Amino acid sequence: MRTFGVVNSDHFKTFTNEQLMNNIEFDKRHIWHPYTSAINPLPCYEVISAKGVKLELAGGHSVVDGMASWWSAIHGYNNPTLNHAAKTQIDRYSHVMFGGLTHEPAIHLCKTLLEMVPAGLERVFLADSGSVSVEVAIKMALQYWACQGRSDKHRIVSPRNGYHGDTFAAMSVCDPVNGMHSLFTNMLTKQLFAPAPQTRFGHTFSEDDILPLEELFSNHHHEIAALILEPVVQGAGGMRIYHPEYLKRARQLCDKYDALLICDEIATGFGRTGKLFACEWADISPDIMCVGKALTGGYMTLAATLCSEDVAQGICQGEPGVFMHGPTYMGNPLACAVAGASLSLINEGHWQSQVQSIQQQLTRSLSRCADLQSVEEVRILGAIGVVEMKQPVNVAAAQKSFIQNGAWIRPFGKLIYIMPPYIIEANELQTLTDAIYTYANSL
């Protein structure tokens, strides 16, 4: 009988195969997972350890993580630097309230972050998660205009195919038709939507691409508080990679029509696209920017909403004189300490050559999928590889195939994509691309 060791308090406890099966059955019956049916849930695989880019699953499979735990674990698992930061901080204190108190981990993190982000961003609001950081960004934009005596500017513009989170304000700026939140349409604030940018990255920009957004601003500028978008890469809304010129023109339109620009860099920030922040592809700076995911290197939840000094000052003019938001775990010292360590690793600069190597290998190894009958298109930018299928992917069948071939990949819709940790080695990345090719070729 095979047994598996998992950490329980300060010692190892041994579970039998039967106990592990009981764990999975309990999970299936009682625990919600993301976007999962309680009636017919997708299979879940139990992780017993993780190191580098490998996940060890109960049952004996060792798989290369192609998702970096939903794009966050850029330094891999069990990173010594991040482990040390977490262990050191937890021995000091794990949490103190941020109302009326401050601490060195938050100060160091914010100082480091402001040195990295595009010029003009001067203030940092530390949030619980990416979705909350979007809520904060929208709230900032609305309060800014209200405090300028312009409460008529109360709507947000967003390109279609966008995704910004699952909380209510964030849902309101996600694609209202192709997004995941159409069920809540009647309950969400009615925002304004422009057609998604169509010119692909690396192609010749079409002037027609920006015209619908310009028309929307022209007709509605009196009620537009802000434009929110994902720079260059639209993530969960379809993994669409578009031309940076659209972003540059969007900045110009916001300036022309007196609206704030919110860049959602939660998925694209910290090097994922080949630039430290994706808005650098267009050489622009937003008024408000959201970051998260890779901020802590995937160790724990933490995000931030950054804004310009003009926005920060404008928010606090007139009543109520303060920004009305304050999460209980805002500025959590443990998360801030790990995030500070993660940013120190990024500032060492290795991510640039790592991401470049990943892009080059993806271009060689993943592009061959484009010749398969089942594949519509292959898209690659930085450490992002996307294979769009012609038909929706059977997630359960695909994941079973991937695991059998040593890969952890989580498809959605018609998309099979990978965003691996930056530390991945060539042979490990090859495992991922081979697994995708094998599955796509079997259809």
How confident is the model over 31-87, as pLDDT tens digits? 999 988 999 999 999 999 999 999 999 989 999 999 999 999 999 999 999 999 999
- Answer yes or no: do 181 and 287 share one domain: yes
- Answer yes or no: do 337 and 390 share one domain: no
Cβ neighbors of 326 (< 8 A, separation 6 or more) are: 98, 99
Q: Which of 362, 352, 363, 364 is nearest to 420 (CA)?
A: 362
* SS3 state at 213: helix
Q: Tens digits of per-residue pLDDT, 315-356?
A: 999 888 999 899 999 999 999 999 999 999 999 999 999 999
Q: What is the DSSP letter of 285?
A: -
- Answer yes or no: do 86 and 200 share one domain: yes
Annotated catalytic, 77? Answer: no
Residue 17 domain-assigned (yes or no): no
Considering 347, 379, 407, which residue would you say is the last residue of a domain? Answer: 347
Of 65, 128, 153, 163, catalytic: 163
- Answer yes or no: do 226 and 139 share one domain: yes
Q: Which residues of 176-208 are buried (b: 16+ CB within 10 A; e: fewer)?
A: beebbbeeeeeebeebbbbebbebebeeebeee
DSSP β-ladder status, 62-65 and 54-57: antiparallel
Q: Are 262 and 225 in contact (CB under 8 A)?
A: no
Backbone angles phi, psi at 288, to 5 degrees: -140, 140
The confidence band for 180, taking pLDDT boundaries of 50, 70 and 90, is: low
Considering its fold, how many domains does the chain have in total?
Answer: 2
Annotated catalytic, 264? Answer: yes
- Answer yes or no: do 97 and 151 share one domain: yes
Of 209, 264, 275, 417, catalytic: 264
Of 35, 111, 152, 390, catalytic: 35
Annotated catalytic, 35? Answer: yes
The predicted model gives 222-234 an average pLDDT of 98
Of 153, 246, 293, 299, catalytic: 293
Q: Are 269 and 277 in contact (CB under 8 A)?
A: yes
Annotated catalytic, 163? Answer: yes
| Full domain range(s) for residue 402 | 45-78+349-442
- Answer yes or no: do 176 and 302 share one domain: yes
- Answer yes or no: do 87 and 71 share one domain: no
- Model pTM score: 0.94
What does each C-alpha distance from 375 to 60, 363, 412 come to in angstroms?
A: 31, 16, 14
Q: Residue 55 is encoded by which pair of tokens?
A: 């996940």
- Answer yes or no: do 142 and 62 share one domain: no
* Residues paired with 227 in a beta bridge: 157, 261
Which of these ranges, 70-79, 120-129, 172-181, 196-205, has the smallest mean pLDDT? 172-181
Q: Tens digits of per-residue pLDDT, 354-368?
A: 999 999 999 999 999
- Answer yes or no: do 361 and 312 share one domain: no
As a whole number, the mean pLDDT across the chain is 94
